[in-house]
Amino acid sequence: MKIETYELTDKEATLAQCADIKFEYFYEETGYSNCDGDSSFLCFTLREALKTTDFDKHQIAGIIGSLEKKGVLYIEHRDPVYEAPDLFYLSENFINAVARKNIKEGKGRYCFA
């Protein structure tokens, strides 16, 4: 899958859209304001990735590393005891690239519609 300068493999695209994330929800170039800023549509945890894909944790780790290197996502490291598990956020630049693609193709929709 090619989105502007981002070239994603099928596995990367699948992981980038795991949990509640759907690329069709990015329909404006407003970054994290898409989906009213609801982080459940912008990031995922390892547990959510395991639950919503067919990948094992080792595959997910490799794909996350690849997506991070490409600038598709960044990791919010958290203290698992006092906070919660790490969060894997799609980058704002990537979200805007997806939005531009959706606008150009006449696709995309509000996530709560």
Q: State yes or no: pLDDT of 26 exceeds 80.
A: yes
Q: Which domain holds residue 63?
A: 2-105
What is the pLDDT, as a whole number, of residue 66?
98
47 inside domain: yes
pTM: 0.92
Q: Which residues of 44-64 are buried (b: 16+ CB within 10 A; e: fewer)?
A: bbeebbeebbebeeeebeebb
pLDDT in tens, 1-20: 899 899 999 999 999 999 99
CATH number at residue 15: 1.10.10
Tally of domains within the chain: 1
pLDDT in tens, 39-72: 999 999 999 999 999 999 999 999 999 999 999 9
What is the pLDDT, as a whole number, of residue 80?
81
What is the pLDDT, as a whole number, of residue 47?
95
